[in-house]
Amino acid sequence: MKASRLMIAGTVVCAALGLGLAAEQQQRPEKTVYRETVVPQTASRDGYADVVDRVAPAVVTIRSAKRVRAAQQFPFMDDPMLRQFFGNGGGGMTPRGRRGNGNGDGMQMERALGSGVIVSGDGYIITNHHVIDGASEIKVDLKGGRTMDAKLIGSDAPSDLALLKINASNLPVLPLGNSDRVRVGDIALAVGNPLGIGETVTMGIISAKGRATGLSDGSFEDFLQTDAAINQGNSGGALINTHGELIGINSQILSPSGGNIGIGFAIPSNMAKSVMDQLRNGGKVRRGKLGVTIQDITPDLATSMNLPSTNGVLVNSVEPASPASKAGMKSGDVIVAVNNSPIDDSNMLRNRVAQAGPNADLSLKVFRNGHEETLQAHTAELNLDETAKAGGDQGPGGKGARGQLGVTVEPLNAETASQLGIKGATKGVVVTDVDPSGPAAEAGIQQNDVILEVNHTPVANGAEIRSALQKSGERPALLLVSRDGRNVFIAVRPSAASQQ
């Protein structure tokens, strides 16, 4: 009603002005005045149409397919008695409306739709790893209606990026911007093919930087967050600035419904460039390793350790003979800067060390015993396969793959033990993440559980878990777990190492 009243009031005012003008015109001689409309030289077309015209041809649609075994969702439909009630409906369609291949082998084609960005005129295209993961067939739809087969040059699951190549030349290219210069509040445009409806452009702003969602494996995340509408099919598409430069590769959304609610995430262009260059030159991504397990600084930790702020990361343990160990780093050190660049949290340190690569010299500023020291470290190469088999705590940030139990762990410390209500325990590992499809989750292991023993052997890190698991043989492993201040034994059947 208020809006309606405002509209009516405005109409009355306009009408009154009109009557006054009419009366005045009756009193004055009629005079015709011609005025030329002058457009300021700085004016241009409304919106960002010119920018979109330049960048849109460099954003493509990616269609991938792989053969998977069809699930028999309704086996009872083979019963003739049930069929007479429900009919034969479906016309031979397999689940989700996909037809089988007709070979009778129970396999079907599973198709995925995403977007990609042309980054070189000779046909290199960057997209998300999850768009082409496991694909036996990849096709690229170009602007103008052409469809071409694509070759997979390389794919990197930890960063969720992949590089494709099509046999073409003189293609439109989207120039890469510097994502480090992006600021919260900058306008951003998302270009892609959401839900398969065709190329679409949406607008928003950069809502945040340096986000880690944990929606992927959580290894190397440094997302730009945006409220530009991103939906399924936008994955691998472009996030651009108002200059028409690529600042991110759209990758994830946070939504309870699966649709856009204004929280989307893009991989920064600087990370994408680093991964893309390595995939193009060597087919794989090499990352640096420091050899520490770490945790973020809480306000209570900062107070108890007499730290000036919560910035930095606390070193829980140092791997023997690692770059950190050789540099003189100790448990209890707080890393506050790498190569004179401040470190705010564990995610930032993990990415800095990884992006430095192997054989890189790092200057590490640490806070120790009330004063700062500078350590010099020479990075090793991170081997993600070895990290997974070791139990999952030896990555650059202390959180590697989930290992044979399907959990990510961190060493127990005094503060964490106090927070979790654990009394008397000086050794153990805290479960920080649980794979919902892993053996630990099936057995009932939960986040914030503390694993004290594996097969009656005390454990303090992932390597000790792996060693203790070897005693299980064919039997389930017996875990002593502390939860809510009480101890409980849980039997878990670990995954085979070959399945990691």
Ordered by start, the domain boundaries in the chain are 59-87+98-165, 179-282, 288-381, 403-499
Q: How far apart (Å, rounded) are the C-alpha atoms in residues 120 and 172? A: 8
- Find the helix packing angle between 269-282 and 346-356, rounded to 10°: 30
Tell me the pairing of strands 429-434 and 450-454: antiparallel
239 contacts 266 by C-beta, under 8 angstroms? yes
CA atoms within 13 A on the CB side of 75: 3
* Predicted pLDDT at 369: 85
Cα distances from 353 to residues 63, 223, 363, in angstroms, run 34, 17, 11
Tokens 């800095």 correspond to what residue? 352
206 contacts 182 by C-beta, under 8 angstroms? yes
> Apex CA 463: angle with CA 457 and CA 465, to 5°?
35
Cβ neighbours of residue 9 under 8 Å, at least 6 residues apart?
A: none
Looking at the DSSP bridge assignments, the partners of residue 98 are 94
Check whether domain 403-499 has CATH 2.30.42.10, yes or no: yes
260 contacts 250 by C-beta, under 8 angstroms? no
- Region of 32 (left: φ > 0; alpha: ψ -120 to 50; beta: rest) is beta
Between the CA atoms of 434, 225, 289 and 304, what dihedral angle is there, to the nearest 10 degrees?
-70
Cα distances from 319 to residues 337, 343, 354, 455, 467, in angstroms, run 20, 21, 17, 24, 16
The DSSP code sequence of 227-260 is -S---TT-TT-EEE-TTS-EEEEEEEE--SSSS-
Q: How far apart (Å, rounded) are the C-alpha atoms in residues 366 and 336? A: 6
Q: How far apart (Å, rounded) are the C-alpha atoms in residues 114 and 193? A: 7
Largest distance between two CA atoms of the chain: 108
* Predicted pLDDT at 103: 56
- Which residue, among 173, 169, 167, has the nearest Cα to 120 in the 3D structure? 173
The two domains 59-87+98-165 and 288-381 share their CATH topology (first three levels equal): no
Name the CATH superfamily for 179-282.
Trypsin-like serine proteases (2.40.10.10)
* Predicted pLDDT at 34: 41
Write out the H or E segment, with its range, that includes residue 282: helix 269-282
Map residue 96 onto helix, strand or coil: helix
Tell me the pairing of strands 59-69 and 93-94: unpaired
**310: phi then psi, degrees, rounded to nearest 5:** -90, 5
55 contacts 187 by C-beta, under 8 angstroms? no
377 contacts 291 by C-beta, under 8 angstroms? no
335 contacts 343 by C-beta, under 8 angstroms? yes
For residue 75, the one-letter residue type is P
Q: Catalytic residue positions?
A: 130, 160, 235
* Predicted pLDDT at 289: 92
Map residue 434 onto helix, strand or coil: strand
* Predicted pLDDT at 70: 54
486 contacts 464 by C-beta, under 8 angstroms? no
* Predicted pLDDT at 153: 96
Say what the pTM is.
Answer: 0.64
Tens of pLDDT, residue by residue over 82-121, are 333 333 443 333 333 344 555 555 567 788 899 999 999 9
* Predicted pLDDT at 410: 84
Map residue 27 onto helix, strand or coil: helix
Regions of the chain short of the pLDDT cut 50: 1-43, 71-99, 217-218, 387-401, 497-500
Range 87-125 burial, b when 16+ CB lie within 10 A, else e = eeeeeeebeeeeeeeeeeeeebbbebbbbbbbbeeebbb
139 contacts 162 by C-beta, under 8 angstroms? no
Looking at the DSSP bridge assignments, the partners of residue 268 are 248
**293: phi then psi, degrees, rounded to nearest 5:** -110, 140
Topology of the domain covering 288-381: Pdz3 Domain (2.30.42)
Pick 59-87+98-165's CATH classification: 2.40.10.10, 3.30.479.30, 4.10.320.10, 2.60.40.1180: 2.40.10.10
Q: How far apart (Å, rounded) are the C-alpha atoms in residues 205 and 182? A: 10
